[in-house]
Amino acid sequence: MAVPGHEAGHSHGSRRGYLTGFILSAILTAIPFWLVMAGLLSVQTTAIIVVVLAFVQIVVHTVFFLHVNTRSEGGWTLVALVFTAIIVLIVISGSLWIMYHLHGNMMPMAPPPVEAPVA
């Protein structure tokens, strides 16, 4: 008995696809780890490489493990992913904007109370 939208012969992934995704994920994890532990590059260069490889790993996980592409579910999974990315971008940028401008929106602090001299 098949669940609607999931025919009996429909496979979400193959062993080869999962193995490819696992190997790519392991490599994309090992490279930043090695770069940070070895300390071969400057801090800024290492940070940029780590962030770029993190985004590549997000794509690998999305394609090989979540099976999000233009063909699955008539493209609706890709639309949902884009919508989610937009919402996350709005939340992160709004949070950063609020934190950056937080000092300017604070009320000035009252001066500390002056103690009377003891006679």
Residue-wise pLDDT for 92-103, tens only, equals 999 999 988 887
Structural domain including 42 reads 13-67
Q: What one-letter code names the amino acid at 86? A: I
The confidence band for 66, taking pLDDT boundaries of 50, 70 and 90, is confident
Whether residue 28 lies inside any domain: the answer is yes
Alpha-helical runs (H) found in the chain: 15-38, 43-64, 76-100, 102-105
Q: Please name which of 12, 9, 8 lies closest in space to residue 64, comparing C-alpha atoms.
A: 12
Q: Please name which of 20, 31, 23 lies closest in space to residue 64, comparing C-alpha atoms.
A: 20
pLDDT score at 68: 83
Shared domain for 88 and 61, answered yes or no, is: no
pLDDT score at 22: 96
pTM: 0.64
Shared domain for 21 and 61, answered yes or no, is: yes
Shared domain for 75 and 88, answered yes or no, is: yes
Whether residue 7 lies inside any domain: the answer is no
Shared domain for 60 and 81, answered yes or no, is: no
Shared domain for 51 and 89, answered yes or no, is: no
Q: For all residues of the chain together, what is the average pLDDT?
A: 86
